[in-house]
Amino acid sequence: MKKYIFVTGGVCSSLGKGIAAASLGSLLESRGLKVRMVKIDPYINVDAGTMSPFQHGEVYVTDDGAETDLDLGNYARFTNSPLSQANSITTGQVYDAVIRKEREGRYLGRTVQVIPHITDEIKQRIVKIGEEPEVDVTIIEIGGTVGDIESIPFLEAARQFIHDVGDDNVIFVHLTLVPEVAGGELKTKPTQHSVKELREIGIQPDILLCRTPYKLDESMSRKIALFTNVHNDAVISAYDVKSTIYEIPLVYHEQKLDEIALQKLGIDAGPAQLDDWEKVARIHNETDRVVQIAIVGKYIELHDSYKSVYEALVHGGIANNARIQLVKIDSGRLEKGEDPAALFEGIHGILVPGGFGQRGSNGMVMAARYAREQGIPYFGICLGMQIMIIEYARTILGITDADSSEFSPDGPHSVITLLEEQIDVKLYGGTMRLGRSETHLSEGSKIHRIYGDKVIYERHRHRYEVNNAYREELIAKGLNICGVTPDKALVECCQWPDHPWGIGVQYHPEFKSAPRNAHPLFKSFIEASIGS
């Protein structure tokens, strides 16, 4: 019998439900189970692709080109669950599918309603993800907070699972907040209310993960258990970890989260093998090697905007026995005339991540120039690679007005131009060059050595590319175009000459990095930064 775990959130958003769900997934995997992860986003957008990073954080891209919620990135970093379009369900997708069926006449004249048609569509999608015979458990994270109007159909579908699969095969984990008020007292009332809200819609949580600043004492967890009708042992302190989120599986395991979940689901599994997580936490906490990496971008204020990039840097650190200090720099500061020497003082490496729109792009160009001229390791990702090209054209080729046509649509020297396939594209959603594709690396190049492979597969999300009209001139002036598409039509990777580590990639390697398996480019970039 297939097993399902629903993860809901109470009191307020941003408590780390995705990391909690992913940590639980990793604990179950560590006991030998096959897990699938699903994220439900109750917003009406069909996917996260059309949302600004300021609104919803980073857009995570899967191999099949789905533009999804950033929690899929958490799943990828913590678990081995395959992730594709199917693992990200939104209200927009569900209604779109139901309305399409209605237009096709597939409801045979019936009135189409939230219950059962919308809820059936939701349930079918969830069941489908775990349908392969080897899958033991599907973990479904319901985004938003219990009590939101938008989540009601999803919670109702979750409730119906009890009816459909039997209560031995489904459990509910509720992540909630136990805040500290002035005077240092922890308060349980918000948790009581959010559980009450869940129970009103027919869901009794089996396990509570209580977000607290520190571990709950026995009397406090007993009180919560009593008021919420949850077993004492199943009130778990999801307290703030001191240094790294990768300790969270260990914190949960110590409080027997995996054991309790398995017991309630009636699963017999082997003991947890957590050596790899222990190693990650140990390196991160014990190393005294600290590397300062500057990230120069325009969505700096919100940590979630470059989530996978930040995490991949941490992974690169772990692989080099080092801890990363992220120094977030708004590229606008360089444009306003701040001195790069002062801004980058003490910095070991500079990374320019992906991005859209003109604002801040000249500041990024200045950062790239500084890194190139000063011999500071530089990693350009997507927009960050395009910035490298613009800088090289302006400074080395002497084309002072070189730019991307994204930023100067009528500019005379667009060294970055719209991909040909994009010229007639009118719709915004899901229309970029998206997902996994093949890149051929130049034999013997540094990037070839880093990957250890000539043919690589990485994920893309962009509309613009290096303008081939300038390719020869760039190469003639020393730029190494060291990665191209198999037909050689698109530039995928470039490298500065005579520089310790100056690499740009048109794709997003950060999506494939994990704490237990750092992406080779991040590992190599941090290694070079340590030496700089």
User: Catalytic residue numbers?
Assistant: 382, 508, 510
CB 508 → ligand GLN: shortest distance, Å? 7
C-alpha 255/C-alpha 362 separation (Å) is 50
Q: Which is nearer to ligand GLN, 146 or 389 (CB)?
A: 389
In the complex, the residues that contact ligand GLN under the rule CB under 6 A are 354-356, 382-383, 406, 461-464
C-alpha 406/C-alpha 385 separation (Å) is 14
C-alpha 459/C-alpha 436 separation (Å) is 4
C-alpha 100/C-alpha 93 separation (Å) is 10
Alpha carbon separation from 349 to 123, 248, 285 (Å, rounded): 47, 28, 21
Q: Which is nearer to ligand GLN, 281 or 466 (CB)?
A: 466
CB within 8 Å of 199: residues ≥ 6 apart: 229
Q: Which is nearer to ligand GLN, 328 or 463 (CB)?
A: 463
Tally of CA atoms within 13 A in the half-sphere of 483 that contains its CB: 27
- The answer to whether the Cα torsion of 112, 114, 120, 121 is positive or negative is positive
CB 71 → ligand GLN: shortest distance, Å? 19
Phi-psi region at 346: left, alpha or beta (left = phi > 0; alpha = psi -120 to 50): left
CB 428 → ligand GLN: shortest distance, Å? 12
CB 5 → ligand GLN: shortest distance, Å? 33
Say which amino acid occupies 88: S
Tell me which residue has its CB nearest to ligand GLN.
354
Neighbours of 268 (CB within 10 A): 7
Q: How far is CA 1 from the centre of its chain?
A: 31
Radius of gyration of the chain (CA): 25
Alpha-helix residue ranges (DSSP H) falling in 446-519:
446-451, 471-476
User: Using an 8 Å Cβ cutoff, are 186 and 216 in contact?
Assistant: yes
User: What is the CA angle 16-283-322, rounded to 5?
Assistant: 95
**CA distance from start to end of the chain:** 55
Nearest to 205 by CA among 192, 217, 219: 192
CB 111 → ligand GLN: shortest distance, Å? 43
CB 150 → ligand GLN: shortest distance, Å? 28
CB 56 → ligand GLN: shortest distance, Å? 15
Nearest 5°: phi and psi at 77? -80, -25
